[in-house]
Structure 1
Amino acid sequence: MTTPLSKEPRRFAPLGKDGGRLPTLKGIVFDVDGTLCVQQNYMFGQMRSALGITKGTDILDHCHSLPSPQDEAALEKIRAIEREAMVLQEAQPGLVQLMDYLESKNLPKAPVNHLLGKFLEGKKFEPIVTREFRPPKPSPAGILSIAKAWGLVGKDGEGVGEGLIMVGDSIDDMTAGYRAGAATVLLVNEMNAHLAEHEHTDLVISRLDELIKVLENGFVGHIAGGDEGSDLKGRAEGVLRDEKGE
């Protein structure tokens, strides 16, 4: 016997259609490295080597801990490595199709980190939150800053994320979205598959263009059950399945 469901799933009305009482999606925030483009993990080793720091030291924390002008010199070393890596960037499957769809719907979209001009020239992204934005993910600050720029604010005049979706590939992406009050979508791969069951993940896709069907039909996220056995997760195909397989 399953325990009664403890809350409703996150939902948005079908994009561009009357969803009745369902909330309207206001915009989508994307992570870049590993989400819009294929992960380039080798960069981090190059960055640490250039900065003379060990693997256990956070790259940006180290840069920001340096006195001026050493901090800016360290950040420029990082930017130089990123510029070289951008030449070798590979787009994630379905990237252009998804962005064309979002443009056709005039849905605001913004990247957290640098823009993929190599693949998306002419596409409108604003505002752009760079790696240097503080505090970084998993803080929701970057997402809330984007929300405020889009005019999505609460009574206190600060940004609110309830009308947004955060798309990413890491626990920091999922947690930042969750803390901002946004729905979260995980672009799943072999390395992050365990995050599909994480409480901060609302929906899972394996290709970016799978999100088109989700938005067309109306976003439905996971349902948190009274116990782990009855916890249900939204899937890109729009089908909710029981985690027990029942």
Structure 2
Amino acid sequence: MQNEKFDLGYRTILAEDFPKPTSRPDVNRNRHHYLLGLDYPMNGSVCRCVWRSVGLSLHSSPLRMTKATHRAANIMQKRMHSFAPMPNGSNAAGGQSRLKGIVFDMDGTLCLPQNYMFAEMRQAVNIPMGSDILDYIHALPEKEQQEAFGKIQDIERTAMSKQVPQAGLVSLMEFLDQHEIRKGICTRNFDAPVNHLLSNHLPRHINPFSPIITRDFRPPKPSPAGILHLAHAWGITDTANVPTSPPEERQLPMIMVGDSIDDMIAGHDAGAMTVLLRSEGKEDLERDPRTHLVISRLDELIALLQNGLNAARW
């Protein structure tokens, strides 16, 4: 078999380092991305591990487990998100975590992406390519900041009249409400496009998103601060401060759903499971180690949540 490498952050392990699995893998396939749940015997106990790979053979040759491999596998187990199935209105079963809430990006996630806006913003404010739009504007003198934000808000106001909701949006929101899963938004947009989307593309019976983090909140994504603010508001964490510990040591019972690298970094660094909504031109992001799961439609999450979710923290 191929000698594929898996970087766990502490030690690179070869696929052949693992013995033959003792049980049939639980495979969630999604085109070029899937998660493999495998059980391995270790010192008389079973370690539940999840591999992310494409085309990985399941029949690696048995090999004596070294202490280093054993330690790395235990680290991998400690980093794993595991949310229990929720077929009957409850997803707290079998010792697995109960999912407490889902954070959504807006543009490109709750509605179809309007990427043309970014070129218009750069042109309106003379922002060079490669510079983060918000960082560039925040670095301007106060008067120029106000003028620049006014220009990009005008662009967003024009674009919001052309918003198209993502496929499966209402179905997923109804499912989350049925199972009492909290919903929040963390976006780099200002509040008007967010309010327009929620008012015009979601029926009134959908429970409100709360809290909603918009551009006024600083620091913006890719900082995890906004997601941690939501976690604190939901009672998941004792503080909204960003911990000094490495992201790999955090594991919150929440999910970040987005379509950009900023979303994946923010979710990963907060300690949430990350779900990428697939979009054209972002294929590399599907293979980013901070992306835990990839979907093509929002309502694909329904079946995944019903069956239970497992993902490794890499």
TM-score bracket, normalised by the shorter chain, equals 0.7 to 0.9
What's the RMSD between the two structures over aligned residues? Answer: 2.2
Quick one: which amino acid aligns to residue 169 of structure 1?
A: D
C-alpha displacement at 1:101, in angstroms? 1.1
Question: Which residue matches 1:120?
Answer: 202
Secondary structure of 2:267's counterpart equals: helix
C-alpha displacement at 1:100, in angstroms? 1.4
**Which residue among 16, 19, 25 is the counterpart of 1:2?**
16
Could you tell me whether the CA contact under 8 Å between 2:231 and 2:240 is conserved in 1? no
Over residues 151-197 of structure 1, what are the superposed CA-to-partner deviations in whole Å (9 max), with x where a residue is unaligned?
2223x574886111001112221111111010111112332222222
Question: Which residue matches 1:165?
Answer: 255
1:87-236, aligned counterparts within 5 Å?
87-113=161-187, 114=191, 115=194, 116-117=197-198, 118-122=200-204, 123=206, 124-154=208-238, 158=241, 162-222=252-312
Secondary structure of 2:276's counterpart equals: strand
Between 22-31 and 39-48, the greater mean CA deviation after superposition: 39-48
CA distance in 1, matches of 2:111, 2:180: 22
Question: Which residue matches 1:27?
Answer: 101
Secondary structure of 2:265's counterpart equals: helix
Q: Identity across aligned pairs (percent)?
A: 48
CA distance in 2, matches of 1:162, 1:50: 40
The structure-2 alpha-carbon separation of the partners of 1:207 and 1:48, relative to structure 1 and needing over 3 Å to count, comes to: same
Instruction: Point out which structure has higher relative CO (alpha carbons under 8 A, 6+ apart).
Output: 1
C-alpha displacement at 1:88, in angstroms? 0.5
Higher strand share: 2
**Which residue among 11, 14, 25 is the counterpart of 2:85?**
14
CA distance in 1, matches of 2:130, 2:99: 39
Quick one: which amino acid aligns to residue 95 of structure 2?
A: R
Larger radius of gyration: 2
Count the aligned residue pairs. 223
Secondary structure of 2:82's counterpart equals: coil
Could you tell me whether the CA contact under 8 Å between 1:46 and 1:81 is conserved in 2? yes
Could you tell me whether the CA contact under 8 Å between 1:203 and 1:222 is conserved in 2? no
Quick one: which amino acid aligns to residue 120 of structure 1?
A: L
Quick one: which amino acid aligns to residue 139 of structure 1?
A: S
CA distance in 2, matches of 1:61, 1:190: 25
CA distance in 2, matches of 1:157, 1:110: 15
TM-score normalised to structure 2 length? 0.65
CA distance in 1, matches of 2:290, 2:107: 20
TM-score normalised to structure 1 length? 0.82
Between 145-154 and 175-184, the greater mean CA deviation after superposition: 145-154
Could you tell me whether the CA contact under 8 Å between 1:147 and 1:161 is conserved in 2? no
Quick one: which amino acid aligns to residue 120 of structure 2?
A: Q
The structure-2 alpha-carbon separation of the partners of 1:195 and 1:157, relative to structure 1 and needing over 3 Å to count, comes to: closer
CA distance in 2, matches of 1:223, 1:181: 9
Could you tell me whether the CA contact under 8 Å between 2:185 and 2:213 is conserved in 1? yes
Quick one: which amino acid aligns to residue 188 of structure 1?
A: R
